[in-house]
Chains A and B, each alone.
Chain A
Amino acid sequence: MKIDIVKRVAGNFKQRDKDHVAEFLPVYDLINEESVNVLDKYKVTLTRNSQVDVLTQDAKTLEQTLSLASKMNFLDAYNENPRRLNILVADVIKRMSKCDAIGIPYKTDKGYANFLFSEKLFKEMTSSLTSEQKKIITPPSLDESKPNEEQVLDAIVTKFDFPQDVVIKLKNKLEELKEQDLSLKEKLMQTLAIVNPSDMEFLEKTINSTMEEMNIKEEKGLVA
């Protein structure tokens, strides 16, 4: 156990939180020190021991989340509740887009809605929508003429708003991989590694989440 990391993370906690650090030491033991630097960079402040698990994440994943949140102006959401950093940012952005599409507010003077950070709460919220609103936020039917991997890539590219030159590189890479005996996910992982070569866990989660949303199942190798 690195005592310095405990002091660094919990040093500015209120006394009642400092009094309970010992109960949370197993989590402090899992902290990536680089992740502490990332939170410092974006001025996200932890105030409780129960928030410390966000620091067990890979620093690159946290950097991506906070970088995107900063560009899209929702960094405040993570200071409201730092544990929201544990949620895949692609899913958060997807829910924001759906809310924008149907005019559901997700930010009030009390802060950001919790349903942005929970699939369960988001489903509960959308269960009360009109059928017209539900239609707008339901993913479009798959285009049978387009290979699934291209559709998933298109969806991811749209989600993250990649610049056009990057989109072209990604599509070219996917084209190169088309004839190789790789699963859909393997092709997408290798393609998206162009933009994010180091955080494979983040890539995999993003691909899985997008495939699930589009109801696309994993397939192995070339279709007969």
Chain B
Amino acid sequence: MKFLEKYDFNSEDIEEFINITPKKMMDKIKDNQELIEANLSFLKGLGIKTFKEIFFDFPAIFFMDNSNFQEKFNKYVKESLIERLNENYKVVEYL
């Protein structure tokens, strides 16, 4: 999970993530690291401040194919999307 450091996760964040994530999910993340990173980069690049919280609580969506992942967010007006997710990141589950 050291790759998460590239996305501003500190060691405490990473340890917390490992503690809350089932082993099979962790293994899948490791097996799909490139995809996970592509999706994390995209989300961070959008300017969404809560991208770490989104990854913590909704790691499953990061297994989406990168183009579908981008489409999930790009269908909204960027400014209002950012505002909405920064205010309440949990709505990401229903975008």
Contacts and interface: CB of A to CB of B under 8 A. Distances in A.
B77 interface: no
B57 interface: yes
Contacts of A64: none
Interface residues of A, number: 25
B20 A20 contact: no
A23 B22 contact: no
A119 B16 contact: yes
Interface in A45-79: 48-50, 52-54, 56-57
B79 interface: no
A197 interface: no
B94 A119 contact: no
Residue from B22, B23, B28, B61 with most neighbouring chain A CB atoms (10 Å): B22
A120 B25 contact: no
B72 interface: yes
Nearest to B61: A23
Contacts of A117: 20
B64 interface: yes
B67 interface: no
Interface string B1-16: 0000000000011011
Given A49-B60, A53-B59, A118-B16, A23 B72 contact: yes
A86 B59 CA distance: 13
Contacts of B93: 20, 48-50
Given A49-B93, A83-B20, A120-B16, 17 more contacts: A20-B94, A23-B60, A23-B61, A23-B72, A24-B60, A26-B28, A27-B25, A27-B60, A30-B25, A49-B60, A50-B57, A53-B21, A53-B22, A56-B24, A83-B57, A88-B19, A119-B19
17 contacts: A16-B94, A20-B93, A26-B63, A27-B63, A48-B93, A50-B93, A53-B22, A54-B22, A56-B23, A56-B24, A86-B21, A86-B22, A91-B19, A119-B16, A120-B12, A120-B13, A120-B16
